[in-house]
Amino acid sequence: MSKEYKVNAIVRFANRILVQLLRWGVPMSHISLLTVRGRKSGRTYSLPVELVEEGGKRWIVSPYGEVNWVKNARIAGEVTLFRAGKTETVCIHELGPQESAPILKRYITDGAITRPYFDVPFDAPLEAFVTEAPRHPVFLIS
């Protein structure tokens, strides 16, 4: 059984540090600052996300499931990404389980921090990731 994601004081503190470093333009590999408008409040919310990039395509993965930024992004249909001094507003399209599976496999193979939130090991066959996909929304950036 995967670990349940809970925002606690340590997570909030770490996210604040990462957000500030990203805003200062500190390069951090595939990590970008995602900003999305709240679906109820209209306020903007920013958080660090790790993008999956391959073959000129990019994806955003929610390792923690149906969290608020996912719900907001679905309604908005777009998010703003900021990395290394560059800001871009991009359209997003949520993928189905078959399309998501190889992205999820790559995501947890490349990044060990979020592995406890998945019910499959990184070396599981692709079919296992199809089953896991409904718990971890994946968005194609266009």
Q: Within 10 A of 16 (CB to CB), how many other CB atoms are there?
A: 11
Residue 61 pLDDT > 90: yes
Strand partners, 90: 79
Q: Could you give the C-alpha distances from 120 to 57, 59, 107, in angstroms and in order?
A: 24, 20, 12
Residue 112 is predicted with a pLDDT of: 67
**Which residue range(s) make up the domain with 127?**
9-141
Tell me, yes or no, whether 110 lies in a domain: yes
| pTM of the predicted protein model | 0.86
Q: What is the total count of domains within the chain?
A: 1
Q: What are the structure tokens assigned to 6, written together?
A: 């809970």
Highest mean pLDDT among 3-7, 16-20, 25-29, 78-82: 78-82
Residue 3 is predicted with a pLDDT of: 60
Tell me, yes or no, whether 3 lies in a domain: no
Tell me, yes or no, whether 32 lies in a domain: yes
99-133: per-residue pLDDT in tens?
999 999 999 988 767 888 889 998 999 999 999 99
Residue 79's pLDDT band, with cuts at 50, 70 and 90, is very high
Cα(first)–Cα(last) distance of the chain, in Å?
33
CA angle 125, 127, 133 (to 5 degrees): 110
Residue with the two structure tokens 């951090």: 28
Query: Residue 92: which of 105, 107, 73, 71 has the closest Cα?
Result: 73
Residue 70's pLDDT band, with cuts at 50, 70 and 90, is very high
As a whole number, mean pLDDT of residues 57-76 equals 94
Tell me, yes or no, whether 113 lies in a domain: yes
Tell me, yes or no, whether 133 lies in a domain: yes
What is the DSSP-derived secondary structure letter of residue 133?
Answer: G
Q: What are the structure tokens assigned to 17, written together?
A: 């540090």
Q: What is the CATH number of the domain that holds 95?
A: 2.30.110.10
Residue 14 is predicted with a pLDDT of: 78
Tell me, yes or no, whether 109 lies in a domain: yes
Average pLDDT, the chain: 89
Q: What are the structure tokens assigned to 88, written together?
A: 């871009």
Tell me, yes or no, whether 4 lies in a domain: no
Tell me, yes or no, whether 111 lies in a domain: yes
